[in-house]
Structure 1
Amino acid sequence: MHIFLTGLGTGVNVDFSRRNLVGIGHSMGATAVLLAGTYSPNLMFSSIILVDPMLLPPLTKWDSTGLSATLGGGAEKRRDIWASREEAMSIFKSKSPWKDWDPRVLRIYVEYGLRELPTAEYPDKTGVTLACHKTQEAACFRDQLGRVRSYNLLPVLCDTIPVHFIYGAIDDYLPSEVKADILNVAARGKYASDTRVKGVGHLVPQVQPAGLADAIWTALNHRSAHHETAQSHL
């Protein structure tokens, strides 16, 4: 993300430093958004929107070792080869968590979240597989450093630019105590807002995309009202 937005890569002829960038991330993607701003050259978001961020306080009863192992192990064991996109869609519609997803999101996932075989990992297979190999997904879940750095960064970041939190109203992956702790830490820097999307837990973008869109729209309008104040802290 940092390489792309700072122009260190190739293939996209856009100077993002001249754009009004809003960082939006869900789950581990929220951690990535937070960390992207810590690299050099500097990447400045005008505001950040964190959707059910996978952040946990370090060295407490909520330490993520158990959760990371569970998610990482599940990722490694998951099925990742299907005869076709049609077969994959049929299976996803009948199994959790995919069966609860908004149909539009599921169609996009099957179209762009899968890729044609063979691949480097499966040179002798046919059909379709995950666009992001499951070992990479597991590695993301098992990372312990990123979520600690992101957690510790919150007060400073919230004191620098508007930071908005959007959570699902159902506390499933992350306990309510963890969410309260994160908001308490962020409050030291006076975070901009926090919103709950009804009828969904951690998978807000997949299950309630319309509710998430409304919450993001509200945050963007709230951001513009507080942008001048935030700039004064820089």
Structure 2
Amino acid sequence: MKIDPRAKVLPAVHRLSSAVAGTDRAQGEVTAVLAHATGFHGRVWEPTARRLPGVDCHALDLRGHGDTPVPEGYDFPWAAFGDDVLAVADDLAARGHGPLVGIGHSCGAAALVLAEAARPGTFDSLWLYEPAAFPPPAAGEVQSNPLVEPTKRRRPAFADRAEAARNYASKPPMDAFDPEVLAAYVEHGFVAEGDHVRLKCRPLNEAQVYVSSLVAEVYAAMAEVRCPVVLVQGVESPSGRFDRLAEQFPDARLESHPDLGHFGPLTHPERIAASIRSWLAERT
């Protein structure tokens, strides 16, 4: 059976902001859609959301991640991640939330770009930490993603969540994760299956996301994003990459944190929250 690559999916969404959880939206409160990196899920944003008073945070699980499933054999076109974001934005708008801001990391940041480019005006502004976006290859250049094969070999199951947490805390990159972030990842990233727990984001699915990244049109979509953008980077490699990405947006400024790596939102949620609060203050 051929799977529709843009099949409509209803993403799982988690309301994270503890200051407003279980209450109606406060007058004047900012509503944020938070999107995660490949292989993770929305609730890894919880430690950041707790540090964002006055922000009503809604974190989605992109298809194939967390609690949002996909059919077997799905090939994860990145444009469909943008569709997931738009589905969340539509639901929030229908319930009286708005204007919306977008907060994203890596693949999640790319999903926000694709959503806003597809439907300009969905977001009032975007905060993007190292969006996964690459310029088209030069003539004759063959692109590959070095994360594909290691991801296919990733261990998919553990005896229990405690074993998973010990394993991840003992080796990079997760040994550098904030303890609250790692705890959230493990608690909500596994499902019980017989006598063990299994990753909700299956390694072969995650690997396919990386394969699909090679033909994702995020770089081209940046030129269609008219809302203000804060493009946030950690330590840069190769030099100048994020300067070039910033130039793709009609209205963007670049913010640098050279002591943070690509996993900055997962290793330093307090620093990330401070950056987000500063960005939001600029909007008032």
- Relative to the length of structure 2, the TM-score reads 0.64
Q: Is the CA contact (8 Å cut-off) linking 1:49 and 1:163 kept in structure 2? A: yes
Distance 1:183 1:39 in 2: 19
Distance 1:197 1:56 in 2: 20
Report Cα offsets for 1:50-87 as digits up to 9, x if no partner: 111111111149x7923x2x112121111111001111
Residue 151 of structure 1 corresponds to: 219
Report Cα offsets for 1:196-233 as digits up to 9, x if no partner: 235211001111111111111111122x15xxxxxxxx
Residue 247 of structure 2 corresponds to: 184
- Relative to the length of structure 1, the TM-score reads 0.76
Structure 1: gaps (5+ residues): 8-12, 119-125, 226-234
Residue 201 of structure 2 corresponds to: 132
Structure 2: gaps (5+ residues): 1-83
* Residue among 92, 100, 103 paired with 1:24: 103
Report Cα offsets for 1:132-184 as digits up to 9, x if no partner: 111221111111232xx221122331xx211111111x22xx42232222123
Residue 10 of structure 1 corresponds to: none
Q: Is the CA contact (8 Å cut-off) linking 2:125 and 2:228 kept in structure 1? A: yes
Residue 46 of structure 1 corresponds to: 124
Q: Is the CA contact (8 Å cut-off) linking 1:198 and 1:211 kept in structure 2? A: no
Q: Percent identity?
A: 27
Q: Is the CA contact (8 Å cut-off) linking 2:127 and 2:230 kept in structure 1? A: yes
Q: Is the CA contact (8 Å cut-off) linking 1:197 and 1:212 kept in structure 2? A: no
- Residue 132 of structure 2: SS of its match in structure 1? coil
| Number of residue equivalences | 198
Residue 142 of structure 1 corresponds to: 211
Question: AA paired with 1:127?
Answer: H
Question: What is the aligned-residue RMSD (CA, Å)?
Answer: 2.3
Q: Does 1:167 align with 2:233?
A: yes
Inter-CA distance 135–43: structure 2 relative to 1 (3 Å threshold): farther
Question: AA paired with 1:156?
Answer: E
Relative to its length, the structure with more helix (as a share) is 1
Shift of 1:16: 5.3
Inter-CA distance 18–111: structure 2 relative to 1 (3 Å threshold): closer
Q: Is the CA contact (8 Å cut-off) linking 2:157 and 2:198 kept in structure 1? A: yes
